[in-house]
Structure 1
Amino acid sequence: MHGRPRKAPKPEDLAASAAKAEKLRILQSQFLLNHHQKIFTKEALELSSKLLEINPECYTAWNYRKLAVQHSLLESNLDPDSVNSILDQELRVVENALRQNFKSYGAWYHRKWVLNKGHSSTENELRLLDKLQNVDPRNFHAWNYRRFVAALLNRSDEDELNHTQDFIDKNFSNYSAWHNRSVLVSNLMKKKVQAFSRKDEVLIREYELVREAVFTDEDDQSGWFYHRWLLDQTVKAESPLLASSWPAHGSEITLSGDRYLDLGSSSPFNTYQFDSGSLPLILYFNQAVEGVNTSTVTVSSGFNVTKDVIWKPILSNNSKTTQVWVGQLKFPEVELDSLGGYTMEVTLGHSQGIISSSGFHYSHPSHFSFTVHVQPAKTEPVEGLGSEKISWRDENFHIYEPDSLESNSVLPLDHLSIKNEREPTDSSWQAKIIDEEISNFRELLDCKIGKLTLARLLTARDALMSSEKPVHSEEVLRLYSELMKLDPPHSRFYKDEHSLVLLEKVIYGRESLLSYCFRYRNLTSSSSSNPICLRLNGLSLSRLGSFEKLLWVQMLDLSHNELQSIEGLEAMQLLSHLNLIGSEWDGNETVTDGVSLVSYWEAFFILRGLKLTQIDIAGNAIADEKFTAFLAKVMPCTQVAGWCTIELILIYSDFHCSKS
């Protein structure tokens, strides 16, 4: 373990191990009998102590001792001397167990439990920790316990930081000490303690400190982890911000009711088929948040739209926070019979309530607006997207070429421009820090972790230039390609990172993105009502990202990629047609509550939130009869929400991909 070679056991070692196992079996048998019969005599407690000295990982024995302590405390009538004696004995039992295994979770948790009773000396705990950490200075259990004891003693973060620095000075190859430093520095910056009130000055000092460790021994990963944490602190915004929305700021949306559609000069990028009397309003934040509701987000308009929008989180897990929130704007049916444009205003952040998962409030009041045009109803429905299945043959797709009337209205392709009343602070100091780090780490390209760090730095530098074209994407892609060859065991990780950078490059600019946008023209239909299809097929993508820039997409072709996951697609709430033919997605099988069959957690959390009319998954390892039955249960033929009718096209071809 941890690079230490295993040695073949000697005969005498095997004999000793067998004797120990036999003794352990006898002790466990006697202990379990006492536990089941709730026997808490002195002899029973001594037996459990012997068991824990041999095997500190026996959680049942620790739980038994907690019950025994509570029983003894009740019998003592809370006499101070008796209470101290009982708890001191528990601390001795833990100490003996730690001598056997310094990394026993059960032992450390039991010691915390005893100290939380409030009758033991915390000063003694620091002295014990000093002894233990001198023996094993890297043990993260001891560092974690030290933070617990320091909090009980109200020791200052400055004192603890000095203590941590002493260990780093002795040997910088100490991941646990660097991690403890990150916790303390975060606390000090949050409290704005003297010498830690200026984030830029703090980070510059920390970069200089860790750089010395990294350049001293480039193969030691302790400093690299801390450097990665510093980079995250440099580029990550503390307070949540609205990254994008649909409809986008300044866009003009055309609604067509009951599948009657006559686009005229309207852009197909901004056309949404209106079947349920509601228009989705999507908010995409830069980090997971909670608290999006009618009190924190205000929607106003110049016509009769229900302003009490019910906001729902789009969750891919069981967390209470999410980056994507969706509300429904209700339109009365009478509005469908009248022409006109209506301006919608959305404001948020003017009252507290939106909070990130890390506890920061949305502190930059902002607003965006868009115009809604309602198409008048026709006498006959158009035969098109709503009534026919999509055939994904290449000949049915033609490169999209916007005409002069709509060339300036393709707003979803451009960056979202949301008006912040209090703009975030200047990022010039961030760019300066990262530029210096890039310059330094170009000297460490002879090692794989140097290449990886440089790729991350270049990606972060491009992210700071949000309004400019990424200038380092080609170099980053080359670095990840080199890493895939240099470090095959971790090639999947590098491939995922490569895919994220490639996708960002593809969809960033208008000119680049338009080259992947196609019109669907089936030979059996002359309709021009179909939305634009974003064809990202055959790009060898293994992971998806940049969803904040894809909220407008209604038809998506991801066929013949190398996708291991479709996580993130749940953000694309307008998506109606999805092609996954020939990918490698296997669904990660598990049991999901609420579904009475063995199901797939990723598919459940992602697909249940989409309003798909068609999904094609031929050639995937996941495409079998069991998954077909699962889809029928999660996405029944008629959606309860009434957005659309679902047709599941599960095409089984001769193309097969094995599970990864």
Structure 2
Amino acid sequence: MASRHGQKKVKEEAPELVKAREERESAILKDYLGLKETLKEVIDSQKRDNDALKVTTALLRKSPDYYTVWNVRRTILKEGFLDSADDDTANQIYTNELDFVQENLKLNPKSYWMWNHRRWCLEHMSQPRWDRELGMVNKFLEIDSRNFHGWDYRRYIIRQLDLVDKEASDNVLDRAQAEFDFTTSKIHKNFSNYSAWHNRSTLLGKLAEAMTEEEKQSIVDNEFDLVKNAIYTDPEDQSAWLYDLWLIGREQKSISVLGASVISFHPLEIVVAFDQTVKLRNAFTVSTRLEHVAVPLEGEWKATGSDASLGSVWIFQQAPGAVYGPTVEVLFFTEDVCAVRAGSTLQSAVCFELETLNQDLNEISGQLTRLVVGKNLMFDVTKRIGPVAGPDGTIETQPSSSKHLVTSLTSSESLEGRVELLQREIASVRELIEIEPDCKWPIQILSTLLSELRETVSIHSMQAKEIDDECIELQEKLISIDPLRQERYEDRRTQLVFDRETLSIIKDSKRFPEIEFAPEQPRGLDLTMRGLTHIPTSSYFIHLHSLNLDSNAIKSTRFLRNLLNVRRVNLSNNLIERLEGVQHAPSLEFLNLENNMIAKWEDVVAGFVFWREGKLARTGCSVKVLLGLNPVIENEGGENVLEQRWEDVGEVGIEIQWKSNELLLAEQEELEQQLQGAKDDGGEQGSFKMDGSRRVSTTVVEFAS
């Protein structure tokens, strides 16, 4: 007899019971489908009577999340009942709707559409009972204190009550205190109530506005005690940890302008680079001096890459026929730049004065490499120091000092308070990690706090290096204990490694808003075997001539679009599946993509489909691409088939090498041995050449004079 150990027991139903249940379900489905058909007739006929309203009532009782029915119901109410109703009648209709929604909420209290319909009713009533609504939502939160729909609706009701009392600030403040106490009671009942923690953070800011510094410090201390009690009770729950991070706060990051440079003279092109992705609210002003008179220079700003509306590298190209003098000036203000990353702002207006007389324009050929200024980006410019007049003529002054965030509620004139808090919290988290060494949340918070501490010290100090090393180790530990979120930790580790490996490029700006390149810049950078999954800030590499990224885990080549000066890039032994961004790398001459994961012909061609429109086509440059050991070779029928298909692409100035360098060297050695053997046998020495590559075009396109 077979063992039933470990098998789930299933109670067998009598055939007559199964048949009865199936008949009931069939009848329910038939009734539901019939109601849907009737609703369609209501919509088509534009009925606005009680019968039409009853159809929506019946459907919503069966399916309260059917948002289309809620929309139809509102239309029926507005056009069939409310348009001709007086205030008393209209209020009674809305009250009936509130009762109807409340009944359905008991069945499904987490329905967006029912809470939304309730708001619609209240906002159209002449005298809504906001206090009654607060009592109603209290009952729902008693049933389920973690219902975020209820919490969101509660905040909405409080906002409406505050609007009613906008002239009575004491009432508003008392209400905020009452809500704060309400969150306290809910948190004490369940520390894992994220909605209560979140609501608490929104209320504290409001309460702190009326507090003295001593009162703020007292409430901050109490909050840290509360959150630590929650964390030590359940260190795996994220709610208290997220509140802890909010309480500690993060200082606002500024947008840094890495520099500006003239990169082309026919037409005039100017590049401005930032340390992060930005959008332009207003186009930067470009002007030139003609006969000692400042004249605006017409042209267009575009970001590199497929989306010209955002990027970290922006290029200005003059309008056809525009004339410029010996210098051009680029000017932009804080409100002209908007960061994609929330919280980042440009700290002050920036002005660059760029010389255009250092080049003999008669000698400039079509090769872009002759056009690119050969120095570091920051040293191609003279940054004008001093106040800059704004659009209204006023002078934008630099702040003499800035306050540093200590917690989300307090700040200090110096960094001492911030450092003291971070060190205290780091010590506390370390203690918890000793107790719970494999708990992911304390490790994540420790990494975040260490990163914040690193912002307070010199980036080239030994302490910064120790922090970087520890943060990288923490990410590696997180990868091992939480493999489901491996990619997130790998990306964070990549950012940390990138910051550490690019320290030589960045000047020790400590905590100044502006990041600057170091005086001495390398022409090449070797980042092999660093475990990088992407290039976080590719604008840092805008001045490089060569970049070696061999043996990493990089998945995309889109970062190439920002490497305006790069000649040689090695991306062999990575995880790249598609060739992208190459048409925006104007100086590229050699690209190694051997042993990646490019599997389809379309993913090869994708990198060159805009070649003729890109910089390489205009300048006549060519690039050699190594694609050996990619799956595309076998998938598409081998090197010979790919060579024939490549001819169909046309003359685009690209040399493709399908075989790997290792294979070519092995074949060359074998041929040399055969030749040597033939010579030893008395035969004639032949002349053979095996390069495994195919030149598609050597056409050179020069600028018109």
Stretch deviating more after TM superposition (563-572 or 624-633): 563-572
Instruction: State whether structure 2 residue 352 is matched by structure 1 residue 374.
Output: no
What letter matches 1:365 in structure 2? S
CA-based RMSD: 4.8
Q: Distance in 2 between matches of 1:320 and 1:201?
A: 47
Per-residue deviation, residues 22-63 of structure 1 (Å, max 9, x unmatched) = 443333333333233322331332232122122111111111
Q: Which residue of 1 aligns with 2:543?
A: 552
Q: Which residue of 2 aligns with 1:268?
A: none
Instruction: Determine which structure has more spread, i.e. the larger CA radius of gyration.
Output: 2
The CA deviation at 1:459 is: 1.6
Q: Which residue of 2 aligns with 1:235?
A: 251
1 or 2 for the larger relative contact order (CA 8 Å, sep ≥6)?
A: 1
Q: Which residue of 2 aligns with 1:210?
A: 227
Q: Which residue of 2 aligns with 1:77?
A: 84
Distance 1:151 1:54, change over 3 A: same
What letter matches 2:193 in structure 1? N
What letter matches 1:169 in structure 2? H
Q: Which residue of 2 aligns with 1:110?
A: 117
Q: Which residue of 2 aligns with 1:122?
A: 130
Instruction: State whether structure 2 residue 240 is matched by structure 1 residue 223.
Output: yes
Instruction: State whether structure 2 residue 468 is matched by structure 1 residue 461.
Output: no
Match of residue 532, structure 2, among 538, 541, 544: 541
The equivalences for 1:131-210 within 5 A come to 131-154=139-162, 155-156=172-173, 157-186=176-205, 192-195=209-212, 206-210=223-227
What letter matches 1:421 in structure 2? Q
Q: Distance in 2 between matches of 1:164 and 1:246?
A: 49
Q: Distance in 2 between matches of 1:9 and 1:149?
A: 49
SS of residue paired to 2:235: coil
Instruction: State whether structure 2 residue 41 is matched by structure 1 residue 33.
Output: yes
More helix by share: 2
Q: Distance in 2 between matches of 1:8 and 1:312?
A: 69
The count of aligned residue pairs is 562
Which consecutive unaligned segments of at least 5 residues does structure 2 have?
1-7, 163-171, 387-396, 404-413, 509-521, 635-705
Q: Distance in 2 between matches of 1:145 and 1:569?
A: 47
Q: Which residue of 2 aligns with 1:284?
A: 274
SS of residue paired to 2:257: strand
The equivalences for 1:185-584 within 5 A come to 185-186=204-205, 192-195=209-212, 206-231=223-248, 233-237=249-253, 241-247=254-260, 274=264, 276-284=266-274, 288=278, 290-294=280-284, 308=297, 312=301, 314=303, 325-327=314-316, 348-349=332-333, 364-367=347-350, 372=355, 374-376=358-360, 421-422=398-399, 423-425=401-403, 426-445=414-433, 446=437, 447-465=439-457, 467-469=459-461, 470-471=464-465, 472-509=467-504, 532-547=523-538, 549-553=540-544, 555-565=546-556, 578-584=569-575
The CA deviation at 1:359 is: 9.6
Q: Which residue of 2 aligns with 1:50?
A: 58
Q: Distance in 2 between matches of 1:463 and 1:302?
A: 47
The CA deviation at 1:566 is: 5.6
Q: Which residue of 1 aligns with 2:70?
A: 62
Q: Which residue of 2 aligns with 1:596?
A: none
| Conserved? CA contact 2:287–2:294, under 8 Å | no
Instruction: State whether structure 2 residue 625 is matched by structure 1 residue 625.
Output: no
Stretch deviating more after TM superposition (87-96 or 644-653): 644-653
Distance 1:169 1:325, change over 3 A: farther
Q: Which residue of 1 aligns with 2:646?
A: none
Q: Which residue of 2 aligns with 1:265?
A: none
Q: Distance in 2 between matches of 1:112 and 1:8?
A: 46
Q: Percent identity between the aligned chains? A: 21
Q: Distance in 2 between matches of 1:55 and 1:166?
A: 34
The CA deviation at 1:202 is: 6.9
| Conserved? CA contact 1:534–1:556, under 8 Å | yes
Instruction: State whether structure 2 residue 637 is matched by structure 1 residue 653.
Output: no
| Conserved? CA contact 1:573–1:610, under 8 Å | yes
Q: Which residue of 2 aligns with 1:396?
A: none
| Conserved? CA contact 1:314–1:571, under 8 Å | no
What letter matches 1:460 in structure 2? E
| Conserved? CA contact 1:613–1:648, under 8 Å | yes
| Conserved? CA contact 1:619–1:652, under 8 Å | yes
Q: Distance in 1 between matches of 2:314 and 2:594?
A: 31
Which consecutive unaligned segments of at least 5 residues does structure 1 have?
1-5, 248-252, 256-271, 388-401, 514-530, 588-599
Distance 1:109 1:629, change over 3 A: farther
What TM-score comes out, normalization by structure 2 length?
Answer: 0.66
Distance 1:382 1:38, change over 3 A: closer
The CA deviation at 1:580 is: 3.9
Q: Distance in 1 between matches of 2:275 and 2:77?
A: 49
| Conserved? CA contact 2:252–2:343, under 8 Å | no
What letter matches 2:231 in structure 1? V
Q: Distance in 2 between matches of 1:181 and 1:417?
A: 46
